[in-house]
Amino acid sequence: MTPDKIITISPNNNQPILERVEPTKSELEALLTKSLEAFKIYSKNYALKQRQEIIKKALSLLSSKQDELARELTEQMGRPIAYTAKEIQTAIKRCEYLLKISDHVFADTPGEHEEGFKRYIRKEPLGPVLIIFAWNYPYLILVNSLIPALLAGNSVILKPSPQTPTIAEHFQSIFLEAGLPADVLRFFHSGGMNATIPQIAIQSPIVKLICFTGSVEGGLAVQGAASARIVPVGLELGGKDPAYIRQDVDLDWAAAEIVDGALFNSGQSCCSVERVYVHHSICDQFVQAIQKVLKTYKLGDPFDPKTHLGPVISSKSQTVIQKQIDEAIQAGAQDVTPENESFKNLPPHGNFVKPTLLINVNHSMRVMTEETFGPVIPVMSVKDDEEAIRLMNDSDFGLTASIWTKDLKLAEELTNEIEAGTVFVNRCDFPAPDLAWTGWKNSGKGVTLSRFGFDQFTKLKSVHLKSYPN
């Protein structure tokens, strides 16, 4: 049987730029077996201190390659070159935080004192961990799972997105150079989650944990493939994240923040602002403030350091985004995007979508209910806090949400009413080292980061020692 080829198409020009080969069933099974053998050596012979030192060396190597990797990322997924290196820097900061807290996280938890007994709970590694990660923030997404897994003593198998295949290759090379034993970190290339090869890995009894970050469709496929056996599955999926702008905000400041939260990475983030609710008393002025910000943005060549927005990831994505916009306008929405030369003269060969500001939207429109994953800002007027919260919660998703107001006491009270795993006040999503993302509803399950995120990479062993009777 001829192995399937995995071809990466650049979103910048729709030309093929990379070609990889999917493993055969026997090759994948051999890889899994080697991962299990490596786990037995790594978990028993490498103490936490040694694991920490290997990761520190790997981070130093990753930092030294930052500019090269940033340019590669711009080529493969289209984010402007002005921002790609920042993702690598932020990923390193997250790793450093995880290293800092790992001694405490993996310490034994003592049991209740009782004369003649010694009791404690110990965290032990699970075994080979399968990490399937997306293309939109591949470095950040990967380290969220990879570093806790390695610190815990697990071996890891990576399945990168076909759009950014080299990320896994670089990490394997870097960690080998840093001293990680052979086969502790392996990877394979493949297509979507309904393909045969990923399902073989998911269903293998060798794999003891599956971490998936990607679309709801992909997450359901992973969960379905794993359903025939008892194995934990971590899912971080899509979002339709709302923002509520109250009447007391500084309009220009809030508008700049919302535009950034909605358009960064061309809106291709599970935590992008995808719905904006504005108090009716300031809605018109807020729309004008957004228009003023949009006039300063530049859409175009992602290798131009002055570019704010590059292409979306594929022609399919481009079509889905434009269809949501067109359907909303046909249903009564109004496109009030300001004049901007770069929005009119789009590069001819890539998957470029102009940022679109919509008003007169409502929840009968898909642009307000389904994930867009593109550079669209739909703004809806609301009469009060109660209506805003009701509409924010009127969604199958629950990843992040934000409230914008000077009244912090009220904002904190409102956070208790919002159905989302993470709620921000006066800012959009941001990559704090200790930030915990946890998906509610169709946005997933489990925590991907912070000290709580370590728990999924270990199993608990309760130990009870009774003194020997005299």
Q: What is the value of pTM for the model shown?
A: 0.96
Which residue of the set 22, 72, 87, 236 is catalytic? 236
443 has pLDDT over 70: yes
Handedness of CA 167, 171, 172, 177 (dihedral sign): positive
CATH topology of domain 241-432: Aldehyde Dehydrogenase; Chain A, domain 2 (3.40.309)
How far apart, in whole angstroms, are the C-alpha atoms of residue 222 and residue 234? 10
Q: For residue 470, is pLDDT > 60?
A: yes
**pLDDT above 80 for 141:** yes
| Residue 211 annotated in active site | no
**Domain boundaries of the chain, sorted by first residue:** 5-237+444-464, 241-432
Specify whether 236 is catalytic: yes
- Asked if residues 239 and 272 have their Cβ atoms less than 8 Å apart, the reply is yes
pLDDT at 263: 98
> Which tokens in the block code for residue 314?
């594929």
Compute the C-alpha angle 7/8/10, nearest 5°. 145
Report the CATH architecture of 5-237+444-464. 3-Layer(aba) Sandwich (3.40)
| Cβ neighbours for 1, distance < 8 A, ≥ 6 positions apart | 24
**DSSP codes of every residue in 293-318:** HHTT--BS-TTSTT-SB---S-HHHH
| 269 and 372 Cβ atoms separated by less than 8 Å | no
Q: Indicate if the alpha-carbon torsion angle 138, 234, 421, 219 is positive or negative.
A: positive
- pLDDT tens for 61-89 read 999 999 999 999 999 999 999 999 999 99
**In the chain, pLDDT over 70 holds for what percent of residues?**
97
| Mean pLDDT in residue range 374-390 | 98
Same fold, 5-237+444-464 and 241-432: no
447 contacts 453 by C-beta, under 8 angstroms: yes
Instruction: Give the CB-side neighbour count of residue 151, counting CA atoms within 13 A.
Output: 28
165-192 average pLDDT score: 97
Helix (H) or strand (E) holding 276: strand 273-279
Q: Band the pLDDT of 437: cuts 50, 70, 90.
A: low
Average pLDDT over residues 9-35: 97
User: Mean pLDDT across the stretch 333-343?
Assistant: 97
Assigned token pair, 109: 């938890």
pLDDT, position 447: 56
Q: SS3 breakdown of the chain: % helix, strand, coil, rounded to 5? A: 40, 20, 40
Catalytic-role residue among 87, 95, 257, 270: 270
